A and B are shown apart, each in its own frame.
Chain A
Amino acid sequence: MKSIFIKLLIAIPLIYLALFIGLWSSVSDTRPIISLLDMMRSDSATKIIDFSSDEEKSSKPKPKPNKDKNPYYGDLHVHTKHSFDAYIFGVTATPNDAYRYAKGEGIMHPMGYEMKLKEPLDFYSVTDHGFFMGMMNAWADTSTDISQNDFALPFHNLNKEENLTVESAGPRSALFSTILAGTIATTHGNFHPNTLKAWLTKNTQKALKSFDYDIHKSAWEDVARSANEHNDPGHFTTFIGYEFTTSTNVEGGNLHRNVIFNSSKAPIRPWTRIDSINPEDLWTWQDKLRDKGVDTVAIPHNPNGSNGQMFEMETFYSDPINKEYAEKRMRNEPIVEVTQVKGTSETHPLLSPDDEWADFEIMDVRVGSRPPTYSKPSGSYVREAYLNGLTLEFTKQGNPYKFGLIGSSDTHTGAGAFDESNYWSKVGILDGDPENRGSTPLAQENIERLDNYMRAFNQPRSTVTLDQGEYANTGFTQWGASGLAAVWAEENTRDSIFKAFKRKETFATTGTRIAVRFFGGYNLSSIDLNSEMLVSQAYQKGVTMGSDLVGDGDKTPEFIVWAQRDKNGAPLQRVQIIKGWIDASGRTHEKVYDVVCSDGLQVDPVTNRCPDNGAKVNINDCSITQNIGSSELKANWVDPDFDKENKSFYYARVLENPSCRWSTWDAISRGFKPREDLHDTIQERAWSSPIWYIPPASDVDVVPLGGTVRLINLST
């Protein structure tokens, strides 16, 4: 008995020592935190919690589900006070406030004015940053141990004298970038018990000095609880969600994703960039959760600010993409956020020089970069990604870029700004008034403030001298009042809407509530466009957005597109179909076709363009021409350049008549002229998810080898 006791006494320190040696061999060098995380597999975030039941909160009558589906509009990208940067932006809105806003109530902007929607939304998801979620409270609060660390000091003093003033914009922005750069992610050191604990519990976050697990979990619990409390099946849908905020290591290419959960169940904590900065690890985690019955979609956003790294031709670690990678990516990332406050990522004038509408709300810098650093277009826009997907498939690597489209806001005030005429941008007091977002000239004291701040933080000059004076030029002029996520679903419930995400029956808008239906098939011209049965027959005879249309002998695909205007927006100007394809030599092409014009105008068959409908905007008061444009546009369309051998994709783009951009509204309502170096007007728009045409099986298989293409005739 006694000897066992002694053996145990000896064994315990030995085991402890052995563990340390194991840990030492994993992380013995002094590489930065990112490398440490490479070695430490962090996968404790798979414990599932049911944050509440999905039971209905009332027995009020529900609208009957519509088998032909209804359009529902929402926002899947909303930050509140739990985000690490919300504190820096002066935001105190809770998830509860955010959901109240989505349902139509007014909530307060940090600068004291009310934010309210014209009409409520159908669904909403609060997606606070997963990493350091809830942690700011702890850093700012000097009664906690954690706040005594060096990294927390700037937070102690941030708002010491005045709370919500624009004067603090400088240090606030600097803090934001500091956190993004990860410099506060210092570890306890290899032999600290917390590092051992992190290693043993496979929760890397615990090795960080800046991390408090209890606070983190309670913030996540608040996010999940609020979502569940506001979910109202049949009337208003919420999703538990968070943002996986990662980027490439050296170039800072934006790889952010929002993760949306399908039920009231979610893991005990979000998987974050502290667990891994590699999105492929996020997908592994999603796969594990799916095995446990919790389904998720991850939605990449701001590919425009990724410096070409959101849609690369190789993996995160520069290996060739293969089918397994492509399938895993598509299983977990069926949709992409193509438009939001920080610009639109459909395409870029350099990538689509023949598309007259490509120069639209372009943001050309990397997300969160200081000083603002150019983001290269190639690899950063969805149309090119669709084309590159065809190329990868051509070389037998699978297609990882067969995603559908949504929009969302990325607001950090809990409340999305979707209306050009009532715009508050997204980062609280940093861009909450026209002077700071650069749409009206700066007052003298603000010019000095900006100059001083730029000097203090070693940043380039951020004002510009124009006709009407000196303007802030801090990048906010490239942001805009966008966008919305829209789905076609049978009813307004979590289940029905989530399934629409999965099958990519989604479309994106720039904040307007345009609706667009889009079908492809082989016998669609037999459907009467004026029949009440139009939609049900189109579903029966064809496929809709997000689907594959498989080749059928020599038949040419036919398409039906039907768009309806936003009753509070401008009338519709035209509907276009954008086609991309790959030819037999592996070259990709794209083409924009106008397919139906407003006011009964006819498409020119040579140029594929509608004539000018004559709608104008009066820049002095933002009024638009009355009685021009259509409330709905509908067409049957056959691809005039169809080749059945070419793998292709088709998506619809719906354009409104032009209207004033937010920067014009800002200027004229304060007695200024719009800034001469910005677009005065925009054309609000919607994009459907594509339909992919898959050629019929051929007896000729193309096998590219060593950079050349060799044709093998399988029949010999």
Chain B
Amino acid sequence: MYLVDTAMSADEDKNIFVSDQEILSLISAWKSQVGRDPTDDELARIINNLIDEEILYREALVLGLDQEDTIIKRRLAQKISFLKEESIPEIPTPKELNEYYENNKEKYYIESSYTFTHYYFSENDNSLDRSLQALKSIQENNKVNSDPFYLGKTFANEPLRNINTNFGTSFSKELMKANVNQWNGPLQSTYGHHLVYINSVNPGYIPEIEEVLRQVEVDFLQMKRDQAVKEFLNSIRSKYTIYINPDLKF
């Protein structure tokens, strides 16, 4: 810990002393819930949050938001965040939206979706053997004796995310490798084995902005609100000196 200079300059309120005690108490609360020590990244995040809050608090004091010094630090920090958020203009220009979209295209990636039908064989009843048998029956144009699948037989435009949820990730990985317009399998899900016939695949793609304009607008405004606080913090952070014990053990 650096020594605190008792005769501080006029800039005294730009020094932030983070005590070992404060950090240790945060770490202890964290450990107690999560059951392990925080990683370096997690620790950095915890401490940064503490510092951000302190800065916002001090800045709120500078603005005189505290009056009788009875406002809680946390609410002050929130209040100034809120003030910064509120200064955002409500209607973004097309140029702003386009720029935002160009920089965040991957966020709008539309994942692939599948239209398929399947035969299901329950793991309660020899699913692998029966599905292999059934594959043979299909090739020989014989009738297939399968089980009804809980979530149904045919799926149209089913996004990969739903297939993950409904069948398990190992199934969807296999599905991505399967061929269109033919029987594939057996593919294993959480519930047994499946023979899958894919009718069509809508490959994943990055859409034109027009397709997702409303969503871009919503995200842009949210980003602006978050950014207003962040920019403010960044602009002001350089004015502060943070004192923190680099050798703290826990």
Contact = CB atoms under 8 A, between A and B. Distances in A.
B215 interface: yes
Interface in B1-59: 25-26, 29-30, 32-35, 45-46, 49, 53
B125 to A, nearest CB: 10
Interface stretch (A247-255, A430-438, A493-501): A430-438
| Chain B residues touching A, range | 35 or more
A530 B148 contact: yes
A111 B148 contact: no
Interface in B106-162: 108, 110, 113, 122-124, 146-148, 150-153, 155-159, 161-162
Interface stretch (A4-12, A35-43, A531-539): A531-539
B75 interface: yes
A576 to B, nearest CB: 19
Given A92-B78, A562-B150, A142 B124 contact: no
A532 B117 CA distance: 12
A61 interface: yes
Contacts of B123: 631
B183 interface: no
Contact of A159 (B74, B152, B165, B222): B74
B84 interface: no
Given A112-B26, A165-B25, A515-B150, A61 B70 contact: no
B57 to A, nearest CB: 10
Interface stretch (B93-101, B206-214, B227-235): B206-214
Q: Is the interface on chain A under 10, 10 to 19, 20 to 34, or 35 or more residues?
A: 35 or more
A142 B30 contact: no
A119 B67 CA distance: 46
Interface string A505-529: 0000000000100000000000001
B104 interface: no
Given A433-B32, A567-B190, A57 B215 contact: yes
A427 to B, nearest CB: 14
A137 B78 CA distance: 9
Contact of B46 (A71, A92, A112, A531): A112
A61 B157 contact: yes
B185 interface: no
A279 to B, nearest CB: 33
Contacts of A158: 72
B148 A535 contact: yes
Interface centre among A92, A108, A112 (most CB of B within 10 A): A112
Nearest to A59: B211
A232 to B, nearest CB: 8
Nearest to B43: A112
A140 B75 CA distance: 7
Interface in A522-577: 529-535, 562, 564, 567
Contacts of B202: 61
A163 B74 contact: yes
A600 B123 CA distance: 13
A156 B156 CA distance: 56
A233 to B, nearest CB: 12
B25 to A, nearest CB: 6
A159 B25 CA distance: 15
Contact of B79 (A60, A137, A435): A137
Contacts of B215: 57-58
A632 interface: yes
Between A87, A119, A532, the greatest number of chain B beta carbons within 10 A of the residue's beta carbon is seen for A532
Contact of A166 (B29, B74, B147, B150): B29
B29 A159 contact: no
B152 A142 contact: no
Interface in B149-192: 150-153, 155-159, 161-162, 164-165, 168, 190-192
Contact of A58 (B79, B147, B212): B212
B33 A530 contact: no
A670 interface: yes
Contact of A229 (B158, B159, B191, B218): B218
A87 B75 CA distance: 9
Contacts of B150: 515, 562, 564, 632
A461 to B, nearest CB: 23
A90 B77 CA distance: 13
Nearest to B151: A70
B128 to A, nearest CB: 15
Given A57-B218, A63-B159, A156-B70, A112 B153 contact: no
Interface string A601-617: 00000000000000000
A533 B149 CA distance: 10
Interface in A39-59: 55-59
Query: Chain B CB within 10 Å — which of A70, A87, A632 has the most?
Result: A632
Contact of B152 (A68, A96, A119, A632): A68
B49 A112 contact: yes
A111 B190 contact: no
B73 A159 contact: yes
A1 B155 CA distance: 80
Given A631-B122, A631-B190, A535 B152 contact: yes
A567 B218 CA distance: 34
Contacts of B214: 55-58
Contacts of A664: none
B191 A109 contact: no
B71 interface: yes
A585 interface: no
Given A159-B74, A163-B53, A142 B67 contact: yes
A141 interface: yes
A141 B29 contact: no
B190 A433 contact: no
B68 interface: yes
Contacts of A388: none
A529 B190 CA distance: 21
A533 B192 CA distance: 19
A630 B207 CA distance: 43
Given A92-B74, A142-B70, A156-B72, A113 B211 contact: no
B207 to A, nearest CB: 7
A157 interface: yes
B207 A58 contact: yes
A66 interface: yes
Contact of A62 (B122, B124, B157): B157
A64 interface: yes
B32 A434 contact: yes
B217 to A, nearest CB: 9
Contacts of B218: 57, 229
A113 B33 contact: yes
Contact of A119 (B158, B165, B207): B165
B49 to A, nearest CB: 7
Contacts of A159: 72-75
B188 to A, nearest CB: 12
A167 to B, nearest CB: 9
A64 B33 CA distance: 42
A424 interface: yes
A37 B158 CA distance: 52
Given A119-B165, A143-B65, A567-B190, A111 B33 contact: yes
Contact of A59 (B29, B46, B49, B212): B212
Nearest to A232: B215
13 contacts: A58-B211, A64-B156, A112-B30, A137-B79, A142-B68, A235-B159, A424-B33, A433-B29, A532-B148, A564-B150, A632-B124, A669-B35, A670-B35
Sorted nearest first, the 3 A-B pairs with minimum C-beta distance are A64-B156, A567-B190, A57-B214
Interface of A: 55-64, 66, 68, 70-71, 87, 90, 92, 96, 108-109, 111-113, 119-120, 137, 140-143, 155-160, 162-166, 229, 235, 424, 432-435, 515, 529-535, 562, 564, 567, 600, 630-632, 669-670
Given A64-B156, A424-B33, 7 more contacts: A58-B110, A59-B211, A60-B110, A137-B78, A142-B67, A159-B73, A564-B151
